[in-house]
Homo-oligomer: A and B are copies of this chain.
C-alpha cells in the first residue's frame, strides 16, 4: 500500500514537492480534505441504497446499514482515514458538516425505529446511538478483517443480516 504523503501526491501530479503547500497548508489539512470528500460519498452511498429500498422503517434501516457496509468494503483505507480524523474535525472547513451529514442519515432511519419513544429525548438518543454504535463496530471490524473467529470457522465475515436483526425488537 502506497503511503499517503504530500511529496508522493506532488510526484503523482507531476509537480514539484512544494506545490501542494498552495492548496493544503500541511499534511493534516490534506487528510482533512480527503476525509471530507469521503464523508460526502459515504452519505451518498447510504442514501443511494435507501432510495432503492421500500419505504418502511425496517427496510430503510437495513438499506442504510447495507450502504454503510458497502462503502466500507469499497473504501477501506479512506474509511479508516475518515474516522482517524474524528478527533480533529476542525482541521478542514467542511469536515465537521460533512461528518454530520453522514451521521444525519443514521439519525433519520433511527427515527423510524421506535416511534413511541420519540417524545423521550433520552430514549431517542439511545436508539440512534445504539444503531450508530453497532453499525460502526461492525464496519470497523470488517474494515480491519477482525472477525477472526468467524473467519476461522466459515472463512467469511458474518453477514450483517445474521447479527443485525437484533433491532427488530425496537418496533415491537
Contacts and interface: CB of A to CB of B under 8 A. Distances in A.
User: Helix, strand, loop or mixed for chain A's interface?
Assistant: helix
A125 B153 CA distance: 10
Interface residues of A, number: 35
A28 interface: no
B138 A133 contact: yes
Interface stretch (A12-20, A35-43, A51-59, A158-166): A158-166
B132 A133 contact: no
A131 B109 CA distance: 22
Number of identical monomers bound together in the oligomeric complex: 2
Contacts of A130: 134, 163, 166
A109 B130 CA distance: 20
Given A86-B144, A130-B166, A163-B130, A125 B149 contact: yes
Nearest to A125: B150
Interface of A: 83, 86-87, 100, 103, 107, 121-122, 125-126, 128-130, 132-138, 140-141, 144-150, 153, 158, 162-163, 166, 169
